Structure 1
Amino acid sequence: MRARSLSVAAAAAVLVLVQPGLAVAADDPSTTVTYTVTSGALTLSVPASADLGSGAPGTQISGAIGPVTVTDNRALLSASWTVTAAETDFTSGASTIPATSATYAAGSVTTTGVITVTTTNVTLSNSAQVVVTGTAGVGDNTATWDPTVAVNVPAGAVGGLYTGTLTQSVA
């Protein structure tokens, strides 16, 4: 009886060692399984308006303009994007303060997903300038910051409500 037990155990051990996986017979039916991972868009959301407050001629008026968010739902392996900012001259109807009197500082950036973000503080102008860059993105990700815009009010500025348009875009 003991010899038979050893033979059965030895045969089972050989079967485990020789058989690498489940055997599939040539006539067994099979199903090919596929799926698609969808991708979305690269978008930018910005506040509709911002009030920096007030100050006298010869001072600096500054404030955070509200959250700016890049949402990258392109589901790429090595994604990158760039945010630019351009400012129109500030006008009161009676006077103008040039866009170059203002600066843009992104400050700290909060991210989700995988993305490396770099910020650049700039003196604004009528031409678009890079303010935030995202690189080495994997899959979907977001980046959010609350930039500060500061305006150096010229000493000879005329009193009044000045308005300018800050245009930010992502590509």
Structure 2
Amino acid sequence: MRFTRIAVGVVAACASLPLVASPAVAAPTDTTVVTLNVVGAGLDIEAPETANLGSALPGTALSGSIGTVRVIDQRGSADASWTATVSTTDFETGGGGASERILASEIDYWSGPATEQAGNGTFVPGQLTAADAEPLDTVNPLIAFQHTGGTGVNSAAWAPTLIVNIPASAVVGTYTGTVTHSVA
């Protein structure tokens, strides 16, 4: 029976030994390549549909804001530069004779400073103050506002002022013209 005692003793001795953990096996891994598209939405300009500058006598100057003009650049470009320009038609009343027309060259424009701006880069008004006002033209647009450099999206708004130099020969009436802002 000696054999039985040794076997029981070995089993008892093994039971008192601490359990040794087997080495951990790493969990399987896998990778996923993720892509996405950043898209641009374009370059746009908004201007008021109408503006009324009020009333004045022949031979005087009439000054007034035409409302807020805004450029929204959502192109997301590496170079987010743009230039906004402005031009006008002649202002006319009645039959359009010489005394019933205020020429575009008699209408001065000044952008003033930005009233809103967002994004990086440099925002530059075309004409910062009334002293910088320039005559409009029917053919050659005037720079109204610029954005240079920067990346991604940006926007700027300004409230331009028109100074209408009414000729002394102008006849009484409601004069209408079209001011056009463009951006590229």
TM-score, normalised to structure 2, is 0.75
Q: CA RMSD, aligned part only?
A: 1.4
Q: Which has the larger radius of gyration?
A: 2
1:126 is aligned to 2:131: no
Question: Higher strand proportion, which one?
Answer: 1
CA distance in 2, matches of 1:73, 1:130: 21
- Give the corresponding residue for 1:90: 91
Question: Deviation digits for residues 66-123 of structure 1, max 9, x if unmatched?
Answer: 1100000011122111111111011001411101110111111020111311122321
**Which of 116, 127, 135 is the aligned partner of 2:122?**
116
1:147 is aligned to 2:160: yes
Structure 2: stretches of 5+ with no match in the other structure: 1-25, 128-133
CA distance in 1, matches of 2:153, 2:79: 11
**What residue identity is the alignment partner of 2:70?**
T
Question: Deviation digits for residues 125-166 of structure 1, max 9, x if unmatched?
Answer: 102222211111321111000000110011111111000110
CA distance in 2, matches of 1:115, 1:159: 47
Aligned residues: 146
Question: What secondary structure, in the 3-state scheme, does the structure 2 residue paired with 1:79 have?
Answer: coil
Task: Judge which range, 118-127 or 50-59, deviates more.
Answer: 118-127
Structure 1: stretches of 5+ with no match in the other structure: 1-24
- Give the corresponding residue for 2:16: none
CA distance in 2, matches of 1:37, 1:55: 52
Question: What secondary structure, in the 3-state scheme, does the structure 2 residue paired with 1:114 have?
Answer: coil
Give the alignment of 1:6-155 within 5 angstroms: 28-94=29-95, 95-109=100-114, 110-121=116-127, 122-127=134-139, 128-155=141-168
2:80 touches 2:153 (CA, 8 Å); kept in 1?
Answer: no
| 4+ residue segments displaced more than 4 Å | none
CA distance in 2, matches of 1:129, 1:113: 24
CA distance in 1, matches of 2:102, 2:38: 50
**What residue identity is the alignment partner of 2:35?**
T
CA distance in 1, matches of 2:79, 2:73: 12
Question: Deviation digits for residues 55-76 of structure 1, max 9, x if unmatched?
Answer: 0011111111011000000111
